[in-house]
Amino acid sequence: MASLLQPDRVLYLVHGEKKIRSPLSTLYFCRYCSELRSLECVSHEVDSHYCPSCLENMPSAEAKLKKNRCANCFDCPCCMHTLSTRATNIPAPLPDDPSKTTMKKAYYLACGFCRWTSRDVGMADKSVASGGWQEPDNPHTQRINKLIEYYQQLAQREKLERDRKKLARRRPYMPLAFSQHTIHVVEKYGLGTRLQRQRPGAPITSLAGLSLKEGEDQKEINIEPAQALDEVEPLPEDCYTRPINLPEVTSLRQRLLQPDFQPAGASQLHPKHKHLLIKRSLRCRKCEHNLSKPEFNPTSIKFKIQLVAVSYIPEVRIMSIPNLRFQKECQVLLTLTNPVENITHVTLVGCEEGDPEDINSTAKVMVPTKELVLAGKDAAADYDELAEPQDFQDDPDVVAFRKSNKIGFFIKVVPQREEDGDVTVSFKIRHDFRNLAAPIRPSEEGDAPTEAIWLTHHVELSLGPIIA
Amino acid sequence: MTPFMLRRIRNRLSKKLKSINKMSDKQNAQKSAKIAAGAVVCVESEIRGEVTIGARTVVHPKARIIAEAGPIVIGEGNLIEEQALIINSYPENIAPDSEGVEPKTMTIGINNVFEVGCMSQALKIGDNNVIESKADLGRNMILTSGCIIGACCQVNTCEVIPENTVIFGSGCQRRVQTERPQPQTLQLDFLMKILPNYHHMKKTVKTTSAVTPAKN
């Protein structure tokens, strides 16, 4: 049953600022802290920008200048698919001899999904394949730019005053209170607001950038305030009686994707440049090590650093569930997979009464008391036919089967509640972990190169409804 | 009469009967599927019932044109790709053998494209339409001209689709385009040259004489 393999059936608990329960495939493992991390307890950083259709990399400064849009690719304003450039041959008069006509190539944009073309909005065909298409100008651009400059200057001034006051008083540590205006200024000079919060001891690098700006003459920018008008344009007279031409009316989504114009008619929908996507890297907040760092090349899906939980923590999966009955003991078959190459010893412990982490379970569970031994993951096992099968003494009541680095074992479940809803059980899994990331000590002692530490995780399983 | 002579007479009679049956079968088969000269219809396609196919139409192998509840008339310059199904079937609530059901003719115009895997039951299709892959047309639809039914769109309403309409997306959104889709003349020419190199073709019939025994 493929539904038993659904990832959200087996949840691991992550101890962070918030207690998060999520499947192992979505978690990361910081091997310096030896703890599980979820997406909410790591900091996300932008690594690089790239266009999803032409896969062109763009440095961050250029991306910011172009407002995070690709220069070559366009989105269909009707269905948001990527537009492709098509060519037609049109007869055009020769420049030397107007009476003769020759075939010239004309290019237009077309959408393969909804069959929108650039000719629908009246955009003329261009004679170059790329680079000829311009977005229409926003009539309010000048005013908006002026306003932005004015507020940036204001924010700088405010921040300078605040920091000057702070340095003068010399308080040891004060959380930087950000006003709405100062946030974008900090981003320009600093590393990002969240990281700055996490580094209490770091010097205020933002000031360094600001001091340079002080040297330049500061131009006073004055803006005229917006004027309120008393009279509003009246609605057209046939507003209520005019029949609506439905294909011409734009949908809300089409309208709001062009916030500059928000056209109400489909014949004013111009294509916009395609939005860039980012590659992000993840960093553990406690030890500042990178947990995930993708490759720079947009065409590559590999990672330079990939500390995902499934390659360090043994994974529990549900294999088969019998009919669950209220207050009757049922035997559920689970599998444990060992992702590392050395032998792992796993002990399962049921949750005690009053365990603060055990909030969701609706059934009592009896886990095998003996220690389970998992063989190491052998990458060459498929090809090596002469490998001796390792001999583990398995108790047939506990261990159902054993296959290379996987083991199937039984647990006994007694559903305690007769209500509708899934039967949930939880237990703790304790396994040994050899930290290969620890610095290699100079070999004075004849110790094993790496010592094992024991990690405990809280696991919750969702077994499905009770069948009466 | 000796048994030997009886046997000879019986053999000759059975041979004659067989040849007569063959001739009438051929005549019947030809009445059912009239393929105009210039059309390229692969032998692997399945054509059942009374189907008329116009000139310059290309029917790919594994296409199926089934005229159950009435004849099908297909115009010129159409492109019917693999696994397309054009079927004139009985509506669901009427049993095939009930009386009083008049056979309705399904007409398909010129320059239409039926892409791979589509299914069309619409009784009236105009010109220059494109029915994209895996689209599904109901029986009560009437396509005018220049319509494009997008991939995987199931349209089962009882209406006339206005000209140059595009139906696309999972929600079968609609919009009107300003120009009709171009007729696939290049593709048709290419296929008419290439397909006979790799497939056997069904025999075409001269449209002037309806009943002529073919030389197989």
- Cβ–Cβ below 8 Å for B174 and A78: no
pLDDT at A171: 52
Please name which of A236, A262, A234 lies closest in space to residue A249, comparing C-alpha atoms.
A262
pLDDT score, position A134: 84
At position A339, the amino acid (one-letter code) is: P
For residue A340, give every residue at least 6 positions away whose Cβ sits within 8 Å of its Cβ, in sequence order, or none: A311, A312, A376, A377, A434
d(CA B188, CA B56): 8
Q: Does B177 touch chain A (CB under 8 A)?
A: yes
- Tokens for A160, please give them: 């300078």
Instruction: Name the nearest CA neighbour of A376 among A402, A347, A404, A400.
Output: A404
Q: What is the Cβ-side half-sphere exposure of residue A447, based on CA atoms within 13 angstroms? A: 10
Q: What is the DSSP letter of A380?
A: T
Which of A222-226, A303-307, A374-378, B33-37 reaches the highest mean pLDDT?
A: A303-307
Distance, CA of A7 to CA of A26 (rounded, Å): 9
Cβ neighbours around A443 below 10 Å, total: 8
Could you tell me if A122 lies within 8 Å of chain B, comparing CB atoms?
Answer: no
- B121-B126-B130-B136 Cα dihedral, nearest 10 degrees: -20
Using 50, 70 and 90 to split pLDDT, how confident is the model at A121? confident
CB contact under 8 A, B175 and A116: yes
Is pLDDT above 60 for A174? Answer: no
The CA–CA distances, whole Å, from A303 to A276, A306, A308, B3 equal: 20, 6, 11, 91
- B150–A120 C-beta distance less than 8 A: no
Q: Which residues contact B132 (CB under 8 A, 6 or more apart)?
A: B115, B118, B148, B149, B150, B151, B153
All residues at 6 or more sequence positions from A428 whose CB lies less than 8 Å from its CB, including other chains: A348, A349, A350, A351, A456, A457, A458, A459
d(CA A396, CA A410) in angstroms, rounded, equals: 10
Which 3 state secondary structure label does DSSP give A215? helix
Residues 6 or more apart whose Cβ sits within 8 Å of residue A127: A104, A105, A106, A107
Query: Going edge to edge, which strands form the sheet with A20-22?
Result: A20-22, A10-14, A452-465, A422-434, A344-350, A372-374
Q: Two tokens at A32?
A: 């310096």
Contact across the interface for A117 and B179, Cβ inside 8 Å: yes
Closest CA to A155 of A210, A223, A192: A210
Give how far Cα B198 sits from Cα of B43, B192, B201, Å.
11, 11, 10
Distance CA A412, CA A364 (A): 8
Taking a C-beta distance cutoff of 8 angstroms, is the pair B58, B189 a contact? no
Q: Please state which of the ranges A180-184, B88-92, B202-206 shows the lowest mean pLDDT.
A: A180-184
φ and ψ of A382, to 5 deg: -65, -30
Give the residue with greater pLDDT, A31 vs A193.
A31
Please answer whether residues A131 and A161 qualify as being in contact, where contact means their C-beta atoms are separated by less than 8 angstroms. no
Which residues 129-158 of B are in CB contact (within 8 Å) with A? 148, 150
- pLDDT tens digits, one per residue of A204-242: 434 333 433 443 445 677 778 888 888 888 888 888 888
**CA torsion angle for A260, A262, A267, A272 (degrees, to 10)?**
40
Q: Which residue has the higher pLDDT, A168 or B26?
A: A168
pLDDT at A47 over 70: yes
Please check the confidence at residue B206 and state whether its pLDDT lies above 60: yes
- Is the pLDDT at B81 greater than 90? The verdict is yes
Residues of A in contact with B168 (CB under 8 A): 79, 113-115
Predicted local distance difference test score (pLDDT) of residue A147? 87
Give the range among A11-15, A20-24, A184-188, A440-444 with minimum mean pLDDT: A184-188
